[in-house]
Amino acid sequence: MSVLFENIEKLKEVVTLTKHEKLINAIIAAIESKDLVKGDRLPSINKMVAEVGYARKTIVKAYEDLKGRGIVESKNFKGYYIADENTKTKLRVALVLFAFHAFQEDFYNKFREELGGKYIINVFFHHNNLDVFKDIFARISGRYGMYVVAPIQHPDIKTLLTKFPFDKLLIVDRQLAMPQDYSYITQEFENSTYNQLQKLIFEIKKYNKFILFFKEDSDYPIGILNAFNEFVKENKISAKVEKQYKKNSIVKNTLYFFIDDTNLWEILRDGKTKNYTIGKDIGVLAHNDNAIKEIIFGGITTISTDFKKMAIESANFVKTREHTRKIIPSELIHRSSL
């Protein structure tokens, strides 16, 4: 351990570094010289205060920063230990998403690209299951330098997430009411869906019926249902909400609105079997855009948030930790399916 303290004493002479940066560099140097190896215990906070003369909060900050990179871990309040000898990692990020849908894959790929190779990103999926969500956080709490989370709309989740420091947590995708200090980069469903439907009013009125497939016991945003109901009521459109599409139930002159891609693929297959022309015999509208919807059947019209933009903004927060509260607006991507 003497090498560590020698490193710190040498770095005290470097005026361009802050005290906590000197501690970090000294520990990293000791790891790289093999004087500290995986499993070794770092000096206690009290010992560091006594030996180095820095304030407790400075030492804790250095240890916690190294913990965020995955280089150091704390074990059951018994102290800090070397967890990884890879000192090149800048930060470990826990990315908690609903599931690996195509649009969330777009988010992940762009997020990873923007952060670059020095960041380690571990992805977890909660599938809108409260118990799974709680289990994930029981396993990852305290092991990452940053948590980027698509939350479940449940009071228990807010209670859980507010235990994390506001500068280490970012809410993405779905909105969750959090204290003012916490940051978010999310989408909004109700007003944006209603406004985009209004832009399609003339195309929608070409069809005899407008059907939305919506399962209330799922992770579907309730704002989409509210927007749909308000829109069809105000515009006196014959409409219906169904839980899911039933195979071979396709009807001509009907416009179908999908949130779940599984139902979308089913109806497109039935339409092909019956030789229906998408955009003429039946209409198709979907939520959340991706590359497949851009090319199949001449293109599927979508109402979608720009998830790549959301990813860029999220990566910027991870790098800067600057407080932000942004709504990424939904866009109408008009294609031939209407």
Identify any residues that bridge with 96 across adjacent strands, giving them in sequence order.
Answer: 124, 149
The predicted pLDDT at position 170 comes to 97
Residue 193 and residue 221 in contact, taking contact as beta carbons nearer than 8 Å: no
* Alpha carbon 192 to its chain's center: 20
pLDDT tens-place string over residues 66-80: 887 888 888 766 788
Residue 175 and residue 184 in contact, taking contact as beta carbons nearer than 8 Å: yes
> Which domains occur in the chain, in start order?
2-82 (1.10.10.10), 91-186+307-327 (3.40.50.2300), 190-305 (3.40.50.2300)
Residue 183 and residue 324 in contact, taking contact as beta carbons nearer than 8 Å: yes
List of the chain residues with pLDDT < 50? none
Q: Give the Cα separation of 168 and 21 in Å (integer).
A: 19
Q: Give the Cα separation of 90 and 66 in Å (integer).
A: 9
The predicted pLDDT at position 135 comes to 95
Q: Give the Cα separation of 252 and 62 in Å (integer).
A: 65
Residue 300 and residue 272 in contact, taking contact as beta carbons nearer than 8 Å: no
Q: Give the Cα separation of 71 and 333 in Å (integer).
A: 45
The predicted pLDDT at position 1 comes to 60
3-state secondary structure the chain: CHHHHHHHHHHCCCCCCCHHHHHHHHHHHHHHCCCCCCCCECCCHHHHHHHHCCCHHHHHHHHHHHHHCCCEEECCCCCEEECCCCCCCCEEEEEEECCCCHHHHHHHHHHHHHHCCCEEEEEEECCCCHHHHHHHHHHHCCCCCEEEECCCCCHHHHHHHCCCCHHHEEEEECCCCCCCCCEEEECCCHHHHHHHHHHCHHHHCCCCEEEEECCCCCCCCHHHHHHHHHHHHHCCCCEEEECCCCCCCCCCCEEEEECCHHHHHHHHHHHHHCCCCECCCEEEEEECCCHHHHHHHHCCEEEEECHHHHHHHHHHHHHHCCCCEEECCEEEECCCCC
The predicted pLDDT at position 275 comes to 94
